[in-house]
Amino acid sequence: MKMSLRYAKWAALPLMVLLPLGAAEPGITRKQADEILTELRQIRELLEKQAANPPQPQGGEQITKAKIGLDGSYTIGSKDAPLTMVEFTDFQCPFCQRFHVSTFSDIKKNYIDTGKLRFVSRDMPLDFHPNAMQAANAGRCAGEQGQFWPMRDRMNSNPEKLDMNSLLGYAQDLKLNVAAFRGCVESGKYKTAIQTDMALAAKIGANGTPSFVIGKSTPDGVDGELVIGAMPYQVFDQKLKELAR
């Protein structure tokens, strides 16, 4: 999955803003800071590899608008909600974890649970995360037994624990049929569906995780704007309030 310079500029923000606060802010540990540094180094390496063969601009402008459907995705919230928010996530991404643990709960409480927003999960496992594809498949396998969202919560909260033993532990905690779950994960049953999500992300210009499409609900999806990055709740709150006017 290619990384854009736009994503690199965004990704540098956590390095500048979060890491200096590591000693003072209890929300980030040294281990989390090290994971973010590792992520940024990997992104830099990908960008350096692309430098010799940069992508050609399309029309001179970056894509900011996106209209997508919801086929094959998991949703929470009212189907009649006026607004829809789609997240393209990588369960091994520390930035996705940060969004999940620091922002998602407020969005759920203030928008999803109140019927204002429909939230949609799509997969975007990045190539340099060795357990990301397996985790994306595990989420869908848990979904076969009605436990997609609880499994998603566990994986998003623990990006460093996505090996098979950890996934089986989550399945056991959720009282899944563990044997069926394991067989589903090991078979890579949903690889094609996950790759479809990845292709959609690339098509709309979502070149980093987490990426979001936020906008007005349509009968089959959302017509909105692409937002890239684990922004604080206030950014999403302002965007949703503007859309609701």
In order of their start, the domains of the chain are: 64-244 (3.40.30.10)
Structure confidence at residue 32 (pLDDT): 67
Q: How does pLDDT run across 150-170, given as a tens digit for each residue?
A: 999 999 999 999 999 999 999
pLDDT of residue 207: 87
Residues 140 and 80: their CA atoms lie apart, in Å, by 24
The pLDDT tens digits for 114-137 are 999 999 999 999 999 999 999 999
Q: Do 185 and 192 touch, CB atoms closer than 8 A? A: no
Structure confidence at residue 64 (pLDDT): 80
Pairing of strands 117-123, 83-89: parallel
In order of 32, 100, 163, 168, 177, the CA distances from 94 in angstroms are 8, 10, 16, 21, 29
pLDDT band at 98 (very low <50, low <70, confident <90, very high): very high
Please check the confidence at residue 10 and state whether its pLDDT lies above 70. no
What is the rounded CA–CA span in Å between residue 89 and residue 124? 5
Q: 5, 54 in Cβ contact below 8 A?
A: no
Work out the end-to-end distance of the chain between its first and last CA atoms, rounded to an integer number of angstroms. 36
